[in-house]
């Protein structure tokens, strides 16, 4: 029996895709594509950095960094963004939280 190689990799990939498809059927929200979320989660989980350009926010955050002891720009942005996304997109947020708990 051939172990490894492209055939074996394809079989494993198809099995994972089938599991994802069946998982989608058990999604807590019918409006959320659980397969796509899981693929994105797997792709992004080791590089969770987000960047954006916003002069006003950057000035405010740097001011706080200079004036508040132990202030962390990254922690503050993460907190604010997470709170907003959880409130604005609760179905997607719940699905992503489930992925983190697996």
pTM equals 0.64
Q: What pLDDT does residue 101 have?
A: 80
User: Three-state SS across 39-99?
Assistant: HHHHHHCCCCCCCCCCHHHHHHHHHHHHHCCCCCHHHHHHHHHHHHHHHHCHHHHHHHHHH
pLDDT band at 77 (very low <50, low <70, confident <90, very high): very high
| pLDDT the model gives residue 95 | 92
Judge whether 73 and 61 are in contact, CB under 8 Å: yes
- Greatest alpha-carbon pair distance for the chain in Å reads 67
The more confidently predicted of residues 4 and 63 is 63
Tokens 């994105």 identify what position? 40
User: By three-state DSSP, how is residue 2 classified?
Assistant: coil
- Residue 25 has a pLDDT of 46
Model pLDDT for residues 1-58, shown as the tens digit of each residue: 445 555 556 565 555 555 555 454 456 677 889 899 999 999 998 898 888 899 999 9
Please tell me what DSSP assigns to residue 32: S
**What pLDDT, on a 0 to 100 scale, did the predictor assign at position 24?**
45
22/99: higher pLDDT: 99
Give the relative orientation of helices 90-101 and 73-88 as an angle to the nearest 10 degrees.
Answer: 120
């Amino acid at each position: 029996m051939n172990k490894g190689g492209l055939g074996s990799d394809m079989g494993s990939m198809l099995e994972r895709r089938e599991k994802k498809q069946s998982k989608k059927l058990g999604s807590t929200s019918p409006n959320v594509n659980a397969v796509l979320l899981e693929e994105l989660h797997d792709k992004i989980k080791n590089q969770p950095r987000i960047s954006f350009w916003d002069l006003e926010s950057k000035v405010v955050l740097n001011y706080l960094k200079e004036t508040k002891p132990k202030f962390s720009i990254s922690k503050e942005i993460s907190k604010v963004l997470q709170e907003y996304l959880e409130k604005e997109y609760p179905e997607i947020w719940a699905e992503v939280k489930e992925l983190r708990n697996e």
